[in-house]
Amino acid sequence: MNNTVQLAWVNEAWDKALEKTRVNSLRIGAEFPHASQGGKYVLEGASWWTAGFWPGMLWQLYAGSGDESLKAIAEQCEERLDEVLDGYLKLDHDLGFMWILTSVANYKLTGSEQSRVRALKAANYLAARFNLKGRYIRAWNPWREGEDNSGVAIIDCSMNMSLLFWASEVTGDPRYRHIAEAHMDTVLEHFIRPDGSVYHIVNFDPASGEVAGKLGGQGYAPESAWSRGTAWALYGLSLAYHHTGKQSYLDGAKQVAHFFLTRLPEDQVPAWDFRAPSEIRELRDTSAGSCAASGLLLLAGQVEPSEADVYRNGALRITESLYRNYGTWDNADEEGLLLHGTSNYPEDRNIDVPLIYGDFFYVETLARIKEAGPYYWE
């Protein structure tokens, strides 16, 4: 790709995302958007797993623009999350998604002591979900009375491990990192298939730690290949390599990246599940594309220069297509930045709509291309 042309579209894409987010911030304020329906982001409660993405996007855009109004809203969102952190009962493994993009982001950008403490509390709750026998972080709490899901681990949690790596880095106490490494070793052993595709859910016997089954979760079927889960694995393994330097994580990230890149359709934006039947494979998930693109750029910086282009060019192709073919820049009646995200096809929830994490990772990827960090997972 010609660098001059590339830079021109990237700056244009960044400016449009910034402008649109400024407008959105006037309506959304310190709330927690998830999926856009009929042009407006639906606002969720502070305990929903997506609560970090809007403030995280505001921090990223603030870091690249200096717009204090975005920072003020991100800080208010973080304060609102205290109720969830102190309430305890609604916390699950998504502590990482929620507090990396709020308190860790704030701490990295401003040095706030209060944010450091909040993120450390979140890291302690996350570490406490570790199952020693199975060497996994428990994903969820019971969704309904009587349900026992204490053996469930999910691929998404790979991203949450950055909170534990961060906690070890700031405290000098290696316990958090030990737990994160144990969980990521389990990801390599039980979630990644030989072809580089991944399982969404592995169910362990929580008492013995033995694998009891593997489930399709948000993918089409147990042996299919949910694209956002693939992106979580790619980026999560690359982050684990960033924090530890362990070769097995880099090898795993490359294996998953090769699967992802070689399954993309002509316009470079993934189907919601790479192995869904053809009649529903046309349905895309732009959030899987933007998340993978950010991970691919991190990965490109971790390999030999001779290998880096495969990942970097893959990320640029995805992102340019998201910008040109999926963006809403000419539609003032749509708050989402990217159309055609798929949240949960099997449960028929938020299909073919903008998703706040798709928007977040799109902005983060643009920041990576522009080298306008920091990136809060690292």
Residues in touch with ligand GLY (CB under 6 A): 49, 156, 218, 228, 343
Is the CB of 228 or the CB of 317 nearer to ligand GLY? 228
Cis amide linkage into residue 55, ω under 30° from 0:
no
Cα distance between residue 81 and residue 97, in whole Å = 12
Smallest gap from Cβ 95 to ligand GLY, in A, equals 12
CB nearest ligand GLY: which residue? 156
Bridge partners, 349 (sequence order): 344
Smallest gap from Cβ 260 to ligand GLY, in A, equals 15
156 is catalytic: yes
If phi over 0 gives left and psi between -120 and 50 gives alpha, with beta otherwise, what is residue 334?
beta
Among 15, 82, 92, 94, the active-site one is: 94
Q: For residues 311 and 293, is the Cβ–Cβ distance under 8 A?
A: no
Is the CB of 218 or the CB of 294 nearer to ligand GLY? 218
Among 92, 156, 273, 359, the active-site one is: 156
Smallest gap from Cβ 208 to ligand GLY, in A, equals 27
Is the CB of 126 or the CB of 369 nearer to ligand GLY? 126
The answer for residues whose C-beta is within 8 angstroms of residue 220's C-beta and 6 or more apart is 226, 273, 275, 276, 277, 280, 345, 346
Is the CB of 143 or the CB of 306 nearer to ligand GLY? 143
Smallest gap from Cβ 291 to ligand GLY, in A, equals 9
The answer for residues whose C-beta is within 8 angstroms of residue 262's C-beta and 6 or more apart is none
H/E run at residue 352: strand 349-353
DSSP code for 237: H
Is the CB of 156 or the CB of 320 nearer to ligand GLY? 156
Smallest gap from Cβ 160 to ligand GLY, in A, equals 9
Cα distance between residue 16 and residue 25, in whole Å = 14
Active site residues: 94, 156
